Structure 1
Amino acid sequence: MPDSADYQAQHKHRLSYMPWLYYRLKPRHLAWATPWQHEIQAQLRALETVEIGKNVFIAPEARLFAEPGRPIVIGDNSYIAADTVLHGPVTLGQHVSINHHASLDGGRAGIVIGDHCRIAAYCSLYAFNHGLAPDRLIRDQAVSSRGICIQSDVWLGSHTGVVDGVTMAEGAVAGMHSVVTRDVDAYQIVAGNPARAIGQRQNNK
């Protein structure tokens, strides 16, 4: 197909929602795609407190908010798909994928995601919580934040939620539509609401 303006515009949309394709582009497509990404990332650096590693893809439709003191750090070879919302403090390791419509808010304590993690579409990670005292409105409750830690090689299935204070250890997996409310052991597979152990990945390390 010719590299027309219409084709490039459509291909940019495709890459925004399927960013892993960016790393498979042929040189003739990289000729326009690479400057496009550089422009997006330069604008983010100018406007937000972000640190972006090498060979990173960020969809222009993604929304990154990183005020001073609430930085976003993105490791090498990671990508952030369209309609994702990241509010710092958030730290992504290397080779991390954040797929479309995911929502991550670091609260005060922050979210840390280790290398080689896969965060599927529509996942929600919120590193803060509201109090529940009955003598005041929910809107007036104190807000707490303990942070979320997702260690390396973790996979969160689509529509998974992770609440404040949770650590998911290396190699853990959460099935689709899980709500993870407590720590998950290394290589453990959990599912459900609230998520419970349903299996174990084979650990040959």
Structure 2
Amino acid sequence: MLSDRIASYLMRRFRGRKLDIAPQLSAMAVLTNLAQKGLVPLIRGTFVKIWLAEARGSFFLGKGCKILNKSMLKIGNNVYIGNYGYLDCLSVDGVTIGNSVTIREGCWVQLTSHYDKPGEGITIGNNVYIGPRSILGAAAQITIGDRCQLGANVSLIAENHAFSGEGDIFEQGVVRKGICIERDVWIGNNVTVLDGVTVGEGSVLGAGTVLTRSVPARSVVVGVPGRVIKTR
């Protein structure tokens, strides 16, 4: 059918992957959905990407999405940022997003809170999915490797308040170490990863985990605080 061919072409052209349609869905319904989700965001992204530091291909930008300091954002091909996202890219190294990255609706990305202590930067690899309402607070460097999947409401917080002295916490400043999520990591819904943590390659963080320390490759982690229950 013509609608099958059109839908398949659009997926290959703009999202870089083959489209297989389940028999329960009509090709026309899929084509309509692709148009609703992709056409207007593509037009919007095509206009916005002329202001970016680097843009190497298709850029889909949802409605109500606000990007501050666009000149510090670099994106690869087939990048999708959902509706009502907020990205403040002001930082030392800016924000770099690889190819075929999806950042879903309501994301919040903040690098710098104080101009005298700018944030470092964020690097997101290729083929990464970041779920709705996720938070990336990158006062220190945040790195997300290739082929990672982050669920909804995930928080990566690369900063911690100092509180060891006798004075007010408000006056003691912060500690910054950074967060590294290595490749092929799956992070479930409502997970929080705190500053100074490295998540080893191929690991799984179960839903609701609060990870306060690094875990080795292929770990399966659950709980508050997160603990390794087995190795994949």
What is the TM-score with the length of structure 2 in the denominator?
Answer: 0.70
When the two chains are superposed, the root-mean-square deviation of aligned CA atoms in Å is 2.5
- Aligned counterparts of 1:41 and 1:162: Cα–Cα separation in 2: 33
Residues 42 and 198 of structure 1: is their aligned pair in 2 closer, same or farther, counting only changes over 3 Å?
A: farther
Query: Which residue identity is paired with 2:44?
Result: E
Query: Which residue identity is paired with 1:187?
Result: R
Residues 115 and 194 of structure 1: is their aligned pair in 2 closer, same or farther, counting only changes over 3 Å?
A: same
- Aligned counterparts of 1:68 and 1:143: Cα–Cα separation in 2: 17
Q: Deviations over 1:136-155 (max 9, x none)?
A: 22221221111000000001
* Contact in 1 for aligned 2:165/2:172 (Cα 8 Å): no
Corresponding position of 1:17: none
Corresponding position of 1:61: 84
Where relative contact order (Cα < 8 A, 6+ residues apart) is larger, the structure is: 1
For residue 36 of structure 1, the aligned residue among 25, 32, 41 is 41
Residues 191 and 150 of structure 1: is their aligned pair in 2 closer, same or farther, counting only changes over 3 Å?
A: same
Shift of 1:133: 2.6
Query: Percent identity over the alignment?
Result: 32
For residue 185 of structure 2, the aligned residue among 154, 164, 171 is 154
Q: Deviations over 1:118-177 (max 9, x none)?
A: 111011111111101342222212211110000000011111110111001100111111
| Higher Cα Rg, which structure | 2
Shift of 1:39: 1.9
Secondary structure at 2:170's aligned position in 1? helix
Q: Is there any run of 5+ residues in structure 2 with no aligned partner, and where?
A: 1-14, 20-29, 52-68, 112-120
2:137 corresponds to 1:105: yes
Corresponding position of 1:193: 224
Query: Which residue identity is paired with 1:39?
Result: R
Residues 62 and 28 of structure 1: is their aligned pair in 2 closer, same or farther, counting only changes over 3 Å?
A: closer
**Aligned positions, number:** 180
Corresponding position of 1:182: 213
Moved more, 65-74 or 89-98: 65-74
Q: Is there any run of 5+ residues in structure 1 with no aligned partner, and where?
A: 1-19
Query: Which residue identity is paired with 2:110?
Result: H
Q: Deviations over 1:80-139 (max 9, x none)?
A: 1111111241111001111001101111x3100000001110111111111013422222
Residues 188 and 160 of structure 1: is their aligned pair in 2 closer, same or farther, counting only changes over 3 Å?
A: same
Shift of 1:62: 1.1
Residues 96 and 154 of structure 1: is their aligned pair in 2 closer, same or farther, counting only changes over 3 Å?
A: same
Corresponding position of 1:9: none
2:100 corresponds to 1:77: yes
Corresponding position of 1:94: 126
Residues 134 and 35 of structure 1: is their aligned pair in 2 closer, same or farther, counting only changes over 3 Å?
A: same
* Contact in 2 for aligned 1:40/1:60 (Cα 8 Å): no
- Aligned counterparts of 1:152 and 1:123: Cα–Cα separation in 2: 17
* Contact in 2 for aligned 1:41/1:58 (Cα 8 Å): no
